[in-house]
Structure 1
């Protein structure tokens, strides 16, 4: 009772849009989606064509059984008719021999049905697996080509659902849906044709319940379609929620938020349960109704057909007197024999079976439509950042230049972007509707120069490095790398110029060597080990039981943060980048390890342009140029000594950190904010 009340409250509770929602709203054009789905069958036309032929033959062999029974009963188990059917004319006049011949034909039809079913099922399952492989490859390749902003808006769980659950639903449609629907249609067509040929009045009587079944099916369709949409959305929410909270379980446990997390998960789980419960209720109501209507039709056939057999007459004698008085040519209605009645009962049973099967296939189709809607919505999201049609190559010197760069993470329309580019700096600064991350930033870093970027949290330091690699496009200004605007360079070539070590190191499942190479086969074992030694992590790796072949679990579980950071250093150095970016790369290591890293840094930055982001000013004092960011603006730049002499923001930062080291306490928040 309490659970039922909970479900009712959940249904009445208005849904809130969250980052986990799939936005499954609006009308779906099934024919358009189906045309796009059938494109994936094109590479496998021979298999599909053979399956289609097998389906037609199987449908024919499926419906021949009752006709054989009718022939046996009417030809050999009663008074032999004067006019024999085309099959009876080719059978033996001896009853036992003729019945044996019919039994062999029946067994042959069953064997043929088995072989055709085997071939068709195997081919379509094989084709479905091929299509799943192609579709998943396309989705993953498409995700790889997306810009960083795409991943800011799409939770990981949602993307995982596209590649797994949604593709599984499409596979079920290809293997058990599309061609199986044709099989049911062919069987229905053959059955209706044979029934009309044997006795069309009985056939019409059998078909009299079809309008009622179509009406019930229509109501069922509308209800189930919405349920399937909600099921897919709820599944994506569960995947996203689980992925997020499992990844952050240590934080949940640290702050004792297990109960709250469980409650939030229960809410998401309840949505999924309600969606499935509604669908199950529709199935529970639909199938008994169809079963009742089909049984009612068979009852009519038995009632009227049985009366005709008992009177040994045709349907005309059973019609109302007004109709019997009409002049109707003899033989129009046909005599109802025992064989005809038995065949009709069997055909009626087989007729309604495909109708029920079609409703199952419709459910599969609806799940596929909901899944394809999401998959194609993802595939239709074109990457916002792509390589230009005409690529200009840089001079490979490693120079970097920012020219009046304005940037915001907000999505601007083409009209807003045009207004931004036409506005003056003062007008842009005065706009409150745009949250600018960078405001008119201009600087240059010469080839082989080491530049450091400092400033408080949120000043735009990491954003600057992300823009260099064109993870986002700026709204105004220019960024030049190797003397060429990055928007004129190919993305792959541009990003190959950079080696990056982030504050939060990321290791992939595999081996230590795999994580250093990252698929770059041109990195030899000797180069890999040399890179590890240069960043002082080689000795640690060799202490592992399997050395460089030591396994790495998901996200580097089992390694300390400092060890993962050092492996990231080796990864960057092994790829020999022209431009090296270190984003708070020493923040996760202890003092002893930091000393080792500093020794390695001097070797890493030699002969290449380097950009360092650090809160610890002691790590960047030897930089050739220090850029001081404050609230999205470049406020100061120069060497360590020059900036100290100016007694500006950098001087205050330095004094603040120096004082903390002297007295052993952290800076106050107010002091950090008001520098």
Structure 2
């Protein structure tokens, strides 16, 4: 049973755990430094700016004291132990003006007013009246002057925390993105390595464009998870945690009231992902299909143009593109409905509750909480919604990343072929098929196939399309294993030989040889460090490739574009011959290797073939029967069975299916059947394929 996508992503994240931990540590430091701001502001308001309304006393010391009317006045909480206090005075604010009262004030809270040189303070039914003098700006500043050193100190402290948060933000961003790139590099490497281990038949049913989309687009979406989503969610969670700690430190009642936000956020995320996952699954699938159709169109562009299928191809692409746009718009509607609108509504609702419950009490002087606490609380609560907004804005990326990661891991869960280190000595190449039957799905495409190919022999496989020729080669390479029977090489069962070891001594030349982007020389060696440059050039000369490639400006270092499209069919074929020769396989498969070659080049190709076949067991799949006349053994297949076997002369003398195929290809000039040859025991050879079956 496979692990959940989240657990597997966590395992990949742990590969870069040091940088992730460092990033999260810096994030925590940055959040703490940022949240220090409201506490500094609270201290500045309550202890310096609004603290001017605290009791003042006449003092003889000028330090930390304000001078007014030739007297020194110091705030009551600034006196040291044992220091003498004189007469108490108060400064009260009414409107935008401050008033000096030269006596103690019993209850300064309440509704205030100034009239006829007196301050009136109304507390319910009680009213207190005090003689007062309005302070000028200079006189008021004299009382604020002792507070300036403390204010400057708090401003400096705020600047320090600001610098800390800037450096912490930089370090967090750098390390988080660095670790994300490290994780994605490993994920892409693992995906690509797994693709190399997938059995060949897996790619028969999955278009190349979809595989490319998994390796590129989907892993890039996972990268967004580690950079944007992880950054916002981790910083959001740490921020929210820090904010609630700050709220409870300011006032536990305010903290309790604001807790209602947490369950709303959790419920919101759960419901959002439930809907968004459905949309994103379709979006990622359509994107893969778009990549697949683009890849297919580029590969088959010449056919599309020749048969004038541009309109149909465009319509098919537009249908996929329109469907992709439809679900993208559904995601946009979902995000537009839930992101800023919902966050804004939640923030406003929280502020209304807090201000109604506590604000009016503070503003009216009933002292539920101080004005500094209320300011700090509103500031901190505002900071609570910044990370919430960041998290909500990343919900779409979160869901896209999780869906993409699921698609990547689904590909990685496909059973692959085991990779076995090491190698085996080059085998001789004695191949024996014994009663082999094979089916790709349910119907058998090969039935009771038995033959022997001795080392150094050339065995030709002929028959109509679908007769089973390629299936025999697929079994030999162990792209598939037969359901019945056995295949041995030098007497050893191929199922007991690791696939990599088995294929290391096999080579193949295809009807349409595949060349990689690089140079002619690199396409011969395929980057194998065991194949020297000298060996590459010798292989090219031995197959005669130097004759066809002599006109190229850079010779064997001539650049090769994708699939070798700038080279002729004969040039590509000779390069593939040289590739097979350089790897020196014990078993060589030639799959219609001369069918695309012009007559002038064919003689050169035939010479190269003779060089290539020397000292190795060769299997030739051929439709042009004239190219296999020298084969040691020809197997004629029909509907998955070997119906005739023998040399060219023997099969021609037999006058069966092979003779008719040869006659059709060469016309009336075909050889006439002679008397069937006799075997060593004197019995006449008979065709394995009965005429009644034709």
Global fold match (TM > 0.5): yes
| Residue 100 of structure 1 pairs with residue 152 of structure 2 | yes
Deviation at 1:392, TM superposition (A): 11
Equivalent residue, structure 1, for 2:649: 641
Aligned counterparts, 1:541-556, within 5 A: 541-556=549-564
Equivalent residue for 1:399, pick from 424, 430, 445 = 430
- Mapped contact 2:363–2:371 kept (Cα < 8 A): no
Aligned counterparts, 1:149-164, within 5 A: 149-164=201-216
Task: Provide the rounded CA distance (Å) in 1 between the counterparts of 2:430 and 2:658.
Answer: 24
- Mapped contact 1:74–1:339 kept (Cα < 8 A): yes
Equivalent residue, structure 2, for 1:298: 351
- Mapped contact 2:197–2:419 kept (Cα < 8 A): no
| Residue 190 of structure 1 pairs with residue 223 of structure 2 | no
Deviation at 1:625, TM superposition (A): 0.6
Task: Provide the rounded CA distance (Å) in 2 between the counterparts of 1:458 and 1:137.
Answer: 38
- Mapped contact 1:196–1:203 kept (Cα < 8 A): yes
Q: Size of the alignment, in residue pairs?
A: 586
Aligned alpha-carbon RMSD (Å)? 2.5
Deviation at 1:213, TM superposition (A): 4.9
| Residue 632 of structure 1 pairs with residue 636 of structure 2 | no
- Which whole-Å deviations, capped at 9, do the CAs of 1:372-417 have from their partners, x for residues lacking one? 211111111112x54789x99688111111111111111xxxxxxx
Deviation at 1:210, TM superposition (A): 5.0
Task: Provide the rounded CA distance (Å) in 2 between the counterparts of 1:43 and 1:215.
Answer: 32
Gap change, CA 1:208 and 1:376, over 3 Å in 2: closer
Aligned counterparts, 1:526-605, within 5 A: 526-605=534-613
Deviation at 1:370, TM superposition (A): 0.8
Equivalent residue, structure 2, for 1:336: 369
DSSP 3-state at the match of 1:504:
coil
| Residue 46 of structure 1 pairs with residue 18 of structure 2 | yes
Equivalent residue, structure 2, for 1:67: 39
- Mapped contact 2:35–2:242 kept (Cα < 8 A): yes
DSSP 3-state at the match of 2:444:
coil
| Residue 261 of structure 1 pairs with residue 233 of structure 2 | no
- Mapped contact 2:222–2:405 kept (Cα < 8 A): yes
Deviation at 1:177, TM superposition (A): 2.7
Normalized per residue, which structure has more helix? 1
DSSP 3-state at the match of 1:128:
helix
Task: Provide the rounded CA distance (Å) in 1 between the counterparts of 2:668 and 2:353.
Answer: 95
Deviation at 1:540, TM superposition (A): 2.7
Deviation at 1:480, TM superposition (A): 1.1
Task: Provide the rounded CA distance (Å) in 2 between the counterparts of 1:338 and 1:503.
Answer: 86
Gap change, CA 1:159 and 1:96, over 3 Å in 2: same
Task: Provide the rounded CA distance (Å) in 2 between the counterparts of 1:266 and 1:660.
Answer: 53
TM-score normalised by length of structure 1: 0.82
| Residue 282 of structure 1 pairs with residue 334 of structure 2 | yes
Task: Provide the rounded CA distance (Å) in 2 between the counterparts of 1:198 and 1:81.
Answer: 21
Task: Provide the rounded CA distance (Å) in 2 between the counterparts of 1:603 and 1:270.
Answer: 56
Equivalent residue, structure 2, for 1:321: none
Equivalent residue, structure 2, for 1:234: 286
| Residue 611 of structure 1 pairs with residue 619 of structure 2 | yes
DSSP 3-state at the match of 2:251:
helix
Equivalent residue, structure 2, for 1:495: 503
Task: Provide the rounded CA distance (Å) in 2 between the counterparts of 1:604 and 1:211.
Answer: 74
Task: Provide the rounded CA distance (Å) in 2 between the counterparts of 1:537 and 1:392.
Answer: 30
Task: Provide the rounded CA distance (Å) in 2 between the counterparts of 1:143 and 1:208.
Answer: 49
Task: Provide structure 2 residue ranges, at least 5 long, that are not aligned to the other structure.
Answer: 56-76, 79-143, 671-692
Equivalent residue for 2:28, pick from 56, 72, 75 = 56
Equivalent residue, structure 1, for 2:324: 272
Deviation at 1:46, TM superposition (A): 2.2
Equivalent residue, structure 1, for 2:69: none
Gap change, CA 1:82 and 1:400, over 3 Å in 2: farther
Deviation at 1:587, TM superposition (A): 0.7
Gap change, CA 1:160 and 1:250, over 3 Å in 2: same
- Mapped contact 1:388–1:488 kept (Cα < 8 A): no
Normalized per residue, which structure has more strand? 2
Task: Provide the rounded CA distance (Å) in 2 between the counterparts of 1:542 and 1:113.
Answer: 67
| Residue 77 of structure 1 pairs with residue 49 of structure 2 | yes
Task: Provide the rounded CA distance (Å) in 2 between the counterparts of 1:214 and 1:51.
Answer: 25
Equivalent residue, structure 2, for 1:125: 177
| Residue 364 of structure 1 pairs with residue 397 of structure 2 | yes
Task: Provide the rounded CA distance (Å) in 1 between the counterparts of 2:396 and 2:228.
Answer: 11
Higher Cα Rg, which structure: 2
TM-score normalised by length of structure 2: 0.80
Equivalent residue, structure 2, for 1:514: 522
Deviation at 1:368, TM superposition (A): 2.2
Deviation at 1:175, TM superposition (A): 2.3
Deviation at 1:295, TM superposition (A): 1.7
Deviation at 1:218, TM superposition (A): 3.8
| Residue 310 of structure 1 pairs with residue 343 of structure 2 | no
Gap change, CA 1:377 and 1:214, over 3 Å in 2: closer
Task: Provide the rounded CA distance (Å) in 1 between the counterparts of 2:426 and 2:388.
Answer: 69
Equivalent residue for 1:111, pick from 132, 155, 163 = 163
- Which whole-Å deviations, capped at 9, do the CAs of 1:280-302 have from their partners, x for residues lacking one? 11111112122122122223333
Task: Provide the rounded CA distance (Å) in 2 between the counterparts of 1:53 and 1:79.
Answer: 37
Task: Provide the rounded CA distance (Å) in 1 between the counterparts of 2:345 and 2:620.
Answer: 76
Equivalent residue for 2:254, pick from 169, 184, 202 = 202
- Mapped contact 1:393–1:484 kept (Cα < 8 A): no
- Mapped contact 1:209–1:294 kept (Cα < 8 A): no
Deviation at 1:251, TM superposition (A): 0.9
Judge which range, 130-139 or 179-188, deviates more.
179-188
Equivalent residue for 2:297, pick from 245, 268, 275 = 245
Task: Provide the rounded CA distance (Å) in 2 between the counterparts of 1:578 and 1:408.
Answer: 27
Structure with higher RCO (Cα < 8 A, 6+ apart): 1
- Which whole-Å deviations, capped at 9, do the CAs of 1:159-194 have from their partners, x for residues lacking one? 111111111122222223335423211211121122
Equivalent residue, structure 2, for 1:437: 445
Gap change, CA 1:395 and 1:206, over 3 Å in 2: closer
Equivalent residue, structure 1, for 2:190: 138
Judge which range, 360-369 or 252-261, deviates more.
360-369
Equivalent residue, structure 2, for 1:658: 666
DSSP 3-state at the match of 1:79:
helix
Task: Provide the rounded CA distance (Å) in 2 between the counterparts of 1:218 and 1:73.
Answer: 41
